[in-house]
Structures are given as C-alpha cells and as structure tokens.
Structure 1
Amino acid sequence: MIKFENYIIRPIENSDLALYFDLVERNRKRLEDFFTGTTSRTKSKEDTEVFLAEMIKRREAKTYFPFVLVNSETQDFIGFFDLKNIDWSIPKTEMGCYTDKDFTGKGITSKAMKYFVKYCFEKLRFKKIFLRTHESNKAMQIIAEKCGFEKEGVIRIDYKTTSGELIDLIYYGMLK
C-alpha cells in the first residue's frame, strides 16, 4: 500500500466490486476508446465481478497488477493504475492509468504516479516502466514528462480502438 496526502494506492480486491464498477461507470464514455478491455468487460456488476476475479488471479500469477487510487477520507475510488505486458526477463512493464473525471487537472494523478513508479522500482523490482498514449491525450503526455518519463518514440498502428480504428501511440519510458 502506498500512502500520500489524503490518498492511498492499493491492490484491488474482490470486495471492491461496487466501488470499482461505479468508477468505471462514471467514466465509461471517456474510457471507451483506450480502455477497451475494461469497458467491454464491465457492462454490468455481474460482468465486473468476473473481470475482477480474473484480474486478481492474474495478479497472483504475477502477470498483471491492478491497483486503485482511493481518497482515504471518503474511501471513494478516484483512479486506477495497472501494470501489464510484463516481461520478467528484462524486467519491464507497461503502466496504465486513469483518473475519475471529477479529479482530473488537480495534480493528483501526477503525485500518485510518482509514488507508484517508485513502488514499482523498489518493491516490484522492475528495471523499466513504459506507458503508451495517443497524441490527443495531452494530459497524459504532461503527466508522463512531469514524472520523469522520456518520450521514446511513436509506434505506428499500435492500437485498435473500440470503434476499430488503428492508431499510432506515443511511447514513454523510464529506467530505474
């Protein structure tokens, strides 16, 4: 668990079903294109329960690590971080994240990401963390650079959106 100011970043649990579903539901429209798996697998609480169980099973296998960003005063979920596309032979991982629409632009994601990156290097012992973002996501580009990620390049036709469009993504990386 990572604590800073009035926030906690912690692994997601099966008991988080209602709060996690509500976080996705509140932000579904803005997540649709770039969190395709999440939005397609959480259309109902029943779907979300299955999806959560699968995420936790993957965490136990050390192939995926899902975390929630929680307001420690209200216990509301205000964001989500995950580590995916893990290659333990390097070891490296891709970081994904999103913040609730009501908490964007307040600096919380930048602070959370700085603490989360430190945790990934120190506790999980990754040597490289990377993230991918679309050119339209200026906020994530600013956050990545503010947190010390370096732009490594643009990979052409690297992602398929929910609508089926093939798009280029900007890669950012950080070494321990």
Structure 2
Amino acid sequence: MFHYQIDDRLTLRQLQMNDANALFRTVESSREELREWLPWIETTQKPADCLAFIDLCLQGARHRQSLNIGIFDRDRLIGCVNYNFIDWQNGSTSIGYWLDPAYQGKGVMTTAVQVMIDYAFYTLRLNRVEIRAATHNKKSRAIPERLRFQKEGMIRQGEWLYDHYEDLVVYGLLSREWTH
C-alpha cells in the first residue's frame, strides 16, 4: 500500500473505505470552487458516492491499473492525486489532482505531484508521465509547467464539463528528463 510522509503535517496515502466520509466532507465544503473544473462533482451527492468511488479505486490498485492517493493534513483529507490509468505496455501514466481551495497556492499539490512522479519513474519504472489540464485552468496548468513538463499539444474539446466542452493542454515528462 502506498504511503509517503511529506513532512510533519502532510501525508500521502492510498484511499481506504473508511475515508469515504472524510472525502465527502472535503468535496461538500469545496463544492462550488471544485465544480469549475471537475466534472464528477455533481454526481458526488452523498457519502455512499465516495464509498463507491473508493471501492473502484481499490479495485484499480489491486489490478495495478490505477492508483488513487489521498492528501492528508494530519488526519484531515484535503485532496487527491492519482494515476488515472497505468499503461504497463507503453510504460506510461497520466496524473490527475484536486485540492481543497484553502490549501491551494501553498505548494502542497506541487510537492504531491513530485512524489507521484518519483514513484512512477523510480519505483514503477515507467517511462512517461502525462498531465492534462483545461486550457483556462491556470492553477492546474501551473503544476506541470513548474515541474518542467513539455507542453506537447492540445486535445480540442477533450472534456465535457456540465454544459460545454473544454480544450485540454497535454503535458508530458519522460523519465530521462526528470531531475529535481
């Protein structure tokens, strides 16, 4: 099971079934801010929705297809960072993330993504990490740009967000390029 202590406050660890209520509380308290960029917010209406999500996450981890990690400030769940899908044949994964707005702008997510990149390259021995972000989501795009990902292109209308399509910028990083 994935577990990483960032500092005396922040921990990354795999989501467990008993995290469902905490996950729901964080989503609920940040619903309006998170809704701007996350299409799953509207379908997360009760703790049982988070329980079902975590169950899927655990199945994905068991089959080595994905990995969903909670970001905790002491015992409080403040966000998630994940490998959406692990492509073992091609040695690649895509990282997604979200964070309680009260913790944004403090380097928390950049550090969490760095840990996930290290794990992808040094432990899983993958060759490529990708991040996709909506063209207008400046906060999300700042992370791969800060971590020296290459901007590789755009997927036009790549994500349906409630009532419209969003274009996605694709960022890529190869294991040979990763130094920090």
TM-score under structure 1 length normalisation: 0.90
The number of aligned residues is 172
Distance apart, 1:47 and its partner CA: 2.1
CA distance 1:124–1:23, change in 2 (3 Å): farther
Does residue 130 (structure 1) correspond to residue 130 (structure 2)? The answer is: yes
Give the letter for the 2:64 counterpart: K
1:45-76: CA deviation from partner (whole Å, max 9, x where unpaired): 1222122212211221122211011113xx11
Structure 1 runs, 4 residues or longer, greater than 4 Å off: none
Distance apart, 1:144 and its partner CA: 1.2
CA distance in 1, matches of 2:85, 2:54: 18
Q: Which residue of 1 aligns with 2:17?
A: 14
Q: Which residue of 1 aligns with 2:30?
A: 27
3-state DSSP of counterpart to 1:43: coil
Distance apart, 1:172 and its partner CA: 0.6
Query: What is the identity percentage for the equivalent residue pairs of Structure 1 and Structure 2?
Result: 24
Does residue 82 (structure 1) correspond to residue 82 (structure 2)? The answer is: yes
CA distance in 2, matches of 1:30, 1:85: 25
**Contact 2:81-2:112 within 8 A present in 1 as well:** no
Give the letter for the 2:94 counterpart: E
Q: Which runs of 5+ in 1 are unaligned?
A: none
CA distance in 1, matches of 2:115, 2:21: 26
The aligned runs of 1:53-132 (5 Å cut-off) are 53-72=55-74, 75-132=75-132
Q: CA RMSD in A?
A: 1.5
Give the letter for the 1:71 counterpart: D
Q: Which runs of 5+ in 2 are unaligned?
A: 176-180
TM-score under structure 2 length normalisation: 0.88
Distance apart, 1:33 and its partner CA: 4.7
